Amino acid sequence: MTIPLYEVRNISKKYGSVVALDNVSLQIHAGEVIGLVGDNGAGKSTLVKALSGAHQPTSGEMYLEGELRSWKSPHDALEAGIETLYQDSGLAPDLSVSANVFLGREITSPGILGKMGFLAQKKMDHQAHADLEAVGIAVPASNRSVSQLSGGQRQAVAIGRAVAWASKVIILDEPTNHLGARQAGEVLQIIKRAKQRGLGVIFISHTLPHVLEVTDRIVVLRLGKVVADAPTSTFDAEKLLGTITGLIETA
Ligand SMILES: Nc1ncnc2c1ncn2[C@@H]1O[C@H](COP(=O)(O)OP(=O)(O)OP(=O)(O)O)[C@@H](O)[C@H]1O
Ligand SMILES: [Mg+2]
pLDDT value, residue 107: 62
Largest CA distance in the chain: 65
111 pLDDT band (50/70/90 cuts)?
low
Q: How far is CA 161 from CA 179, 186, 205, in A?
A: 17, 15, 19
Q: pTM for this one? A: 0.88
DSSP per residue over 30-81, as a string?
Answer: TT-EEEEE-STTSSHHHHHHHHTTSS--SEEEEEETTEEE--SSHHHHHHTT
Tell me the pLDDT of the chain averaged across its residues. Answer: 87
Interacting residues of 44 by C-beta distance below 8 A, sequence separation 6+: 36, 37, 38, 173, 204, 221
For domain 6-91+167-245, the CATH class is alpha beta
pLDDT value, residue 20: 96
The alpha carbons of the chain give a radius of gyration, in whole angstroms, of 19
Strand residue runs (E) in the chain: 6-15, 18-28, 33-37, 59-64, 67-69, 82-85, 169-173, 200-204, 217-222, 225-231
Give the tens place of pLDDT for each residue, 204-239. Answer: 999 999 999 999 999 999 999 999 999 999 999 999
Cβ of residue 242 lying under 6 Å from some atom of ligand 1: no
71 vs 181, which has greater pLDDT? 71
Ligand with an atom nearest the CA of residue 37: 1
Distance 200 CA to ligand 2 centre (A): 20
For residues 161 and 83, what is the distance between their CA atoms, to the nearest angstrom? 9
Residue 73 has pLDDT above 50, yes or no: yes
Q: Domain residues of the chain, as ranges?
A: 6-91+167-245
Atom 1 of ligand 1, residue of closest alpha carbon: 15
Distance 199 CA to ligand 2 centre (A): 22
Ligand with an atom nearest the CA of residue 19: 1
116 pLDDT band (50/70/90 cuts)?
very low
Give the tens place of pLDDT for each residue, 141-194. Answer: 677 888 888 777 788 888 888 888 888 999 999 988 878 888 888 889 989 999
